[in-house]
Structure 1
Amino acid sequence: MKYTKVSFTLKILLFSFWWILIPKLIIAQTANDSSYYYHQQIINPVIPSDLPTGINFYIQKKKADLKAGDSISVINDLRLLAIGEFKIGNNFNSENYVVEALNFIQSMSTKDTLVNAKVGLYNQLGRIYGASNNPNEAIKTYNKALQIVVKLKDSVILLNNKANIYKEQLDYKNALTIYTLLHQKSQNNSDSYQKALVLDNLGYVQSKLNKPKALDNLKKALQIREDNNIITGQHASNKHLAEYYLDRKDTATALLYAEKVISLANKINSSSFKLDAISLMLRMDKNPLIHEYKKLTDSIANAKQIAENKNAFLKYNVAEEQGKTQASQLQQEIESRKRLAYQALALIIFLILIGSYFIYRNRYRKAKIEEIYKTETRIAKKVHDEVANDMYKIMASLENNSGIDKKVIDEIEKIYTKTRDISRENSAIDLREDFAIQLNDLLLGYKNNNVKIITRNLSKIPWNTIPEIKKTTIYRVLQELMTNMRKHSKASIVTLVFHKEGSKIHINYRDNGIGCNIFKKNGLQHTESRIASINGTITFESKHDDGFKASIII
């Protein structure tokens, strides 16, 4: 029975968990496939619509993840939004997404475990500062990331971007030191993206310092990027090769690469990339007015950028405070939803366990009752087959012996009759037949010249809807009451009235016998146990010389 209890409960739990989890696993798989597709549109855009489509997807995904309380996914959504906005040229929007993500992490209780997320966000913030002509803040941000980074791959990216800041500030010596170190570490690196990145930047700085391997490294980087369809990387490689030839007065070759730069910028559909490409083309024009115009516009743009940086820092401080408050509120909401989800899950599990307990208890009780009836039937058969038959043989042999006292034979016959009655009272009941007829035959079997049996409404009970275990119990209980009546009551009239109220069956027994004092011993106690085993009730009422009553409700 213990094994049955455990296995049945496990089945219920497994069924419930699969019923709850399978739809979620299917939805999660679909979401993961979509996320990967749009992730590639942000990280490696191929056509002009990739970046806007990817950004729109992650705006909607962020809302859904906030509603679902998935903090980790929210942080990843914000980082990809920052990358996408940066590639389009919206530096301020990109910075806001980074700040929102960092503040969100800061408000989380698990913030110390989210090192990789912080590193990625600091790296993106450094790129934004670099593009916003704010090199000092960019270097500080990269150094902050390098202090906590744990992955070699992330270290390479951070050092490369830090070197880019030195490169853009024309500090080629410091840039070369970092690029050379990175190139040495990337010799056995299987990551094509990083290998090309390091080679391209190394070749560019070498070209500015007139190092002999510059052109070879630039071309190797471009080849890797073309082989792996790294579009944004191809844009950078072609731009650096154009500058390489332009610095060496080979305008024709430089123009070929510059045209590729414009084509790739249009393909990526990034305003910042297009601006770089146009600026490169202007440098190739020999008209002095264009060069003067470029110097002036660059000067004005630089001054405007410095002013915007000051304004951006003010906005950053305000946004940071607001972001902390919003992130804290969002985190509290997420934690609240998580608690509700856990409580709901705990309630479901609790209800399943309670339901399993009652189901098992009913199954166990039913199995126990069935086992009792099987045992009674088995004993009855054994009494009939072995004891009664042997008694009959002995009685028959003694009757043929003239020397045996007839009283002895009569006593043996009484014992035989008792064993036969015991066997009949506990023999198997064939419930496949009409139960109303079987029960009626049982009751009328106690009728004789001295006892009249009256039944009412027995055939009106829908016995075919009553479970077999209950019908067996009713049969045995009435059998015991009738046997008790025949042995002890000296009754002349017995009435049994049947009726159904709702789902309950009521049976009222009454005889006009000598009655008795109710002690619930022997047969009466046995009937009470049988009725209780199927959650029914039986009550007795009797007085001396005032008959016997029993009320059964099942």
Structure 2
Amino acid sequence: MASPTEYDSIHRYYDRSFDQKNSLEEKRESIDRALFLARDLEADSILGKLMYKKSSLLFQAGDYDSLVAHHDSFLTLQSQVDGPKLKASQYYLMGYYYDQVRSDYSKAFENYSAAKSQFELAKDSSWTGKCLLLMGVIQKNQNDFFGSKETVTEALQFFKEPKDNNDMVQCYGLLATNHRKLLNFEDAIFYYAEAIKNSGSMEDRIAFENNLAATYIDDGRYEEAIVILEKIMGNTALDSTPVVYARVLDNLSYAQWLLEKKDVDASFQKALQIRKEKHDIRGQIASYTHLGEYFMEKRPHVSRAYLDTVIQLAQKIKVPRAETDALKFLMQISPENVKLRDRYIFLTDSLDAKETMVKTQFAKYKYDDKLKQESILRLEKENAEQALSAAEERSKKIMSYLGSIVLFLGLSFAIYFFGQRTKRLKERNKLAKLEATLETEADMSRRLHDDFGAGLNQTMLMVQGDMDRSKILDRLDGLYSQSRNFSREVNEVSTGGRFKDEFLEMLRFRTPNEANLFVTGVKDIDWGEMPPLSQKVLFKAIQELMINMGKHSKANMVTIGFKHTGKTMVVKYYDNGVGASKEELNAKNGLRNTEKRIQAIGGTVIFDSDKGEGFTAHIMIPF
């Protein structure tokens, strides 16, 4: 458990890792220092933030080996990371790394899938859809067009806000490409039209229009393709994008040749030259393929040279599909060439096997993700059923709640208990002990009468008034909890070897949910050597302070420090609540009782507080 000072240090170093005035190396040093200080934290919201920030800085620095190793640590500690949003961000970062840096489609898909699940748990629909879109892109690039189509269709369901428009447009474009590859030309044309209509970017619109024209070419509708491509060629935006210009020019030349057998050699060569200058290898493959097809009949040897270049480039950047396209044309030029045929068969078989493996792998990732989602839904259903069952059980507990009345009668004997306790302490300080006991008894009597008695009387009136049964049960449940808490206050304190555990359990029990408790020095005390009477007085005194804090202070931080000095135990208590004036302190019976108990065994206590400045107690007890 970190102390308040350590928490402040952790947050200070964390904030430094964002400061733009610091260098990247200084930011990394700050986040490493924050993680070191947070090494003992468990299930704390700051831990996940620290882990993700370090991943982000490692990625920015290009320290990818350390990034992968750190991610392994994240997976080990992810049960301690608070909230699915941070887990989602971490998985998304790793998906991006494997996608854009390593080109490892398998791990990229796996991490995007994990990120999607976490974003869905966080109810972030935009990022859920974005992850699905990227998964669909990977599937398309690996020729899993059916799988990609299903994934992107699912992604569209999550894009509901105006800010999601660009992602939605990309989904339309990707769906169109998938349908085009599956030869569903009408569907491809529809989705390209949707992408063009909704696109807010001129560059994207030109790309979609060019792809729409390519779809018309694939479908043999050359005139429609030429109309679109000539319109694009008149767009001045192409002047600043030579790669796009070359793509449009190459497609236009190809459509004109297919439609009219025009002499388009010069246009093909112009597009190819631009692509060479811009080092657009995929574009060069397209140009050389079109030139190979263009010269097949009139100059086969020239065609063969172009197609051989396609094969060389395809092997260089590992695009076997382009190589098979070139081999199909070469087999038409040289049908007797057995080597070409064997190479073509080998490549197609390999591609088919790889695509089958990829589809299976992607399907498994999605199936595993579905199982995780179903497991979460099943758990939620079980929790709901348990809650319903608990509600039904409440109606059966009315008889057991009657036992609380018996407990109430038993609590009356607590006064007698404190009377006997007074006798045992007489020899130490008769007068002080008697005053403390009498005030304690009076306080208990007041609380029994005012709190529990009034509540019981109100419940009886509710029964006589024939009020709603569920409200009566709720009231009885509250009385039961009240009596149980009262019993914990007055029960005998365990001493000796069991004291430490019971004392710490009391502290945890008395700490409100909205408050943070910091305890120091517990491990340095030999609690077994502390006199039993001192143990009991310490327990009751700190319990009274915790009860007072929980009821009145509205504190969100409590610190208690213990120190054994010679024959004295020193206890320093502080909370940052609303505090109290001197008059209010003197009027509190519980604090007066606490002071008298401590004085009765030869100890001292000093209370210090002002309105709005918290509450402090300095206690010294014989050890």
When the two structures are superposed, what TM-score results if normalisation uses the length of structure 2? 0.43
Higher RCO structure, 1 or 2 (CA under 8 Å, sep 6+): 1
User: Whose radius of gyration is greater, 1 or 2?
Assistant: 1
When the two structures are superposed, what TM-score results if normalisation uses the length of structure 1? 0.47
